[in-house]
Amino acid sequence: MIPVLIMLLLALVSPSIEMSTLDENEPVQTTSGRQGSLDVDCSGYTFEDLFEYDFALFTLDVNDDWATGVMDARAWVNGSKSAIVRDNLDGLFEGVPGGDDDWISTDEREAVRSIGPRCIADMETRLGIREGPSHRGNVDWNDLEFVEDGIALDEVNLVPTGHEQERSCSSPLSDAGCKEVPVTVTDDLEIHLLIAENQNNNVRFDQLPNQGSSNFTLAMNITNITDAQLVMTFPVQQGLRIAEMGFFDDGVLNENLVAPTSEFLPDGRLRIIADVDYPIGSYPMIRNLFVDFTTMAPFTNDDPVWSTTAPAEGTIIPVGTTNGEMLATEEAGMWVIDESGWSLQCEFTDAGWDVRMDENAGLYVMANGASAVGQCAGVDAYGAETVEHRNYTFGKVMDASATLSPSGDTIEFTPVSTGMVASLTVDAHALQMAKMGSSATAVADTNGVMMELSMSGLSPGSVMIAGTASANGMLDYNFMLDLGIEKLNKPPSITIDTNLMGEEAEWELDGLKFTLNGNVIDPDGQDVSMMLSICNGQTSNFDRDNLAWEIQVSIANCIQSNVESPYSVVIVATDASGATTSITIEVDDPNAGGSDTTGGSSTSDTEEDSGSILPAPGVFATLIAGLVAAGWVSSRRN
């Protein structure tokens, strides 16, 4: 069965697509010649041979060892193409129970996920590296190759969950819970090649002896890649930059194509972004991308300069409330101006302190104590620094504590200035996932100040405290604190409407059922389920409209059980956290002999579990009493 599963991946190969290597002189391999074979060797194939897609995004991060990397490939398959993919997958399971039956199943999907990495490990990445002066083919390339242990293959929506045509798998050998849909389904799907769990690479190549410190060329064969984007990121290497790059068709530079772009990330890495395409019908034209790297300094390199948004000399930069590395600010990317990219570098006299910037320009500070002064400068990729070095004080500007108020409705939050500044203006609110309470503002000095933070609208459970502390001469301190606060759950409340006569139940003309309505409210905003019990029977058939509810109650069970009027009706409301509230009313049958027509009285009980329900006796109403009641109800409604 394993050869069949591997060929399951080869089913995605389009017979009309061919591929080539980076060497224009090597013979072209066609994919169509292997369609009917059970050969498990996937060498010579590319991602495009396996997956015909509408658009793909390829990202490659080269690791610091200059020998391994992480590749991520996402391919989107839309509309009719997705149906072709599903049909091809199912067709290659011919002879396997449940296969080739025009239905694609979750069992077949799992086979793709499990056997796919074994096949992909034989495939070509289309990427090669060569040290030395610029190269344009016809050389022995240091090719990247996939690493089987590092590969994971996934998909999205191959078997759409909850599809209107979904059914349980028809094969008696199917796994429990197996579902399948027709292969004709045209729901969009996504194919994802990614790194396996607990692995740090899924591609490798022969380590560059110079590890990026001298000239090298990267090449990629993009023949038959109809629409994709390539994003490649290289490790930090002093002075590494792009010398030249472009697309070449059959060895000739195509100046009509938009050249790739490059940028230096704030953490010092070099990134290349290339939009690649290959016009359909252009084969056998060979299109390659060549990128030449160098560490030679450019002819001119201006020093980086501080921008007007950079913190002034002596500014305090808050770093949180604990030791270790913490995000200080996400807005450092605009502090310095330089065409070659830059990062903030600081020298500390106190041991254990350091700074770094990530690729998104977030400034992280390694703290080791209450505060420390760092002498900082913006440094570009070639070592040039801002002429002015600025002293910044990094430290913990605020401590905080919190308790739950006696009512459980608010948080008593107490921020305290550590003394780095005389006082802090603190704006804070309770936070829970996407929900947040209303904000409160207060000024905190070294004695602290107690702030009441509302938890209205938040769900029971853990609650964070978020906000901003500001002061003159200091960057804003944006905090999100977990101080062990838990919002307690409050049970829902139930009300039952009455008419002008004070009656809760409105009887139908047939005298066999009545209607109740009212409102149910959960103070925590949770979803509430409702259950009604009468004469040892239960129903949840409530009509709900926001807070309002209505239900029609039959007394058939009471009649069968010889339960006499008044009837005990119990309504239980249960919130999403399991807290319950019950309300009990006694409903008089206006058609029962000797009964009054008050329509019932109610009592309420709120608890974590609903109480017991005791049925009351009842009898059939007489025909005359029924007619009188029917006439009264009719005139009252009219």
Q: Is 290 among the domain residues? A: no
- Quickly list DSSP for 462-525: EEEEEEEEE-TTB--EEEEEEEEEEEPP---EEEE---TTS-S-EE-TTSSEEEEEEEEE-TT-
Query: Do 76 and 163 belong together in one domain?
Result: yes
Q: What is the mean pLDDT of residues 386-406?
A: 95
Q: What pLDDT, on a 0 to 100 scale, did the predictor assign at position 584? A: 94
Rounded CA separation 217/248 (Å): 14
Q: What is the mean pLDDT of residues 278-298?
A: 89
Q: What pLDDT, on a 0 to 100 scale, did the predictor assign at position 20? A: 37
With vertex at residue 510, the alpha carbon angle to CA 506 and CA 513, rounded to the nearest 5 degrees, is: 45
Q: What pLDDT, on a 0 to 100 scale, did the predictor assign at position 16? A: 30
Residues whose CB falls within 8 Å of the CB of residue 177, separated by 6 or more in sequence, listed in order: 106
Query: Do 582 and 545 belong together in one domain?
Result: yes
Q: What pLDDT, on a 0 to 100 scale, did the predictor assign at position 524? A: 83
Confidence of residue 602 (pLDDT cuts 50, 70, 90): low
Query: What are the pLDDT digits (tens) for 604-629?
Result: 555 443 333 333 333 233 322 333 33
pLDDT > 90 in the chain, percent: 53
Asked if pLDDT for residue 263 goes beyond 60, the answer is yes
Query: Do 380 and 430 belong together in one domain?
Result: no
Q: Is 579 among the domain residues? A: yes
Rounded CA separation 164/168 (Å): 12
Highest average pLDDT, of 57-61, 220-224, 267-271, 377-381, comes from 57-61
Q: For 384-397, b where at least 16 C-beta lie within 10 A, e where not — what string?
A: bebeeebebbbbbb
Distances (CA, A) of 636 to 70, 422, 540, 552, 630: 76, 73, 28, 18, 10
Q: What is the mean pLDDT of residues 474-490?
A: 93
Query: Do 379 and 461 belong together in one domain?
Result: no
Q: What is the mean pLDDT of residues 555-584?
A: 92
Q: What pLDDT, on a 0 to 100 scale, did the predictor assign at position 205? A: 92
Crossing angle of the two packed helices 2-10 and 106-120, in degrees rounded to 10: 80
Query: Do 358 and 409 belong together in one domain?
Result: no
- 70 vs 1: which has the higher pLDDT: 70
Whose tokens are 């006082």? That residue is 423
Q: What is the largest CA-CA distance in the chain?
A: 110
Query: Do 523 and 418 belong together in one domain?
Result: no
Domain tally, the chain: 4
Asked if pLDDT for residue 194 goes beyond 90, the answer is yes
Which of 487, 512, 536 lies at the terminal end of a domain, its last residue?
A: 487
Which of 177, 200, 221 lies at the terminal end of a domain, its last residue?
A: 221
Query: Do 461 and 535 belong together in one domain?
Result: no
Closest CA to 402 of 467, 450, 469, 466: 450
For the chain, the average pLDDT equals: 83
Which of 184, 204, 221 lies at the terminal end of a domain, its last residue?
A: 221
Q: Is 241 among the domain residues? A: no
Rounded CA separation 467/416 (Å): 14
Crossing angle of the two packed helices 106-120 and 79-91, in degrees rounded to 10: 90
- 50 vs 308: which has the higher pLDDT: 308
Q: Is 53 among the domain residues? A: yes
Query: What are the pLDDT digits (tens) for 410-452?
Result: 999 999 999 999 999 999 999 998 889 999 999 999 999 999 9
Rounded CA separation 635/335 (Å): 80
Asked if pLDDT for residue 400 goes beyond 90, the answer is yes
Asked if pLDDT for residue 517 goes beyond 80, the answer is yes
Report, in this order, helix, strand and coil percent for the chain, each rounded to 5.
10, 40, 45
- 14 vs 565: which has the higher pLDDT: 565
pLDDT > 70 in the chain, percent: 86
Query: Do 13 and 103 belong together in one domain?
Result: yes
Q: What is the mean pLDDT of residues 467-476?
A: 95
Its domain, for residue 183, covers: 2-221
Q: What is the mean pLDDT of residues 577-586?
A: 93
Q: Is 251 among the domain residues? A: no
Asked if pLDDT for residue 397 goes beyond 90, the answer is yes
Cβ atoms of residues 175 and 105 within 8 Å: no
pTM: 0.61
Q: Is 270 among the domain residues? A: no
Q: Is 230 among the domain residues? A: no
Q: What is the CATH number of the domain that holds 458?
A: 2.60.40
Query: Do 578 and 614 belong together in one domain?
Result: yes
In the structure encoding, which two tokens stand for residue 340, read together?
Answer: 């070659």
Query: What are the pLDDT digits (tens) for 154-169?
Result: 889 999 999 999 999 9
Query: Do 502 and 474 belong together in one domain?
Result: no
Asked if pLDDT for residue 361 goes beyond 70, the answer is yes
Q: What pLDDT, on a 0 to 100 scale, did the predictor assign at position 593? A: 61
Cβ atoms of residues 61 and 231 within 8 Å: no
Q: Is 522 among the domain residues? A: yes
Query: Do 146 and 200 belong together in one domain?
Result: yes
- The full length of the chain comes to 638
Query: Do 470 and 523 belong together in one domain?
Result: no
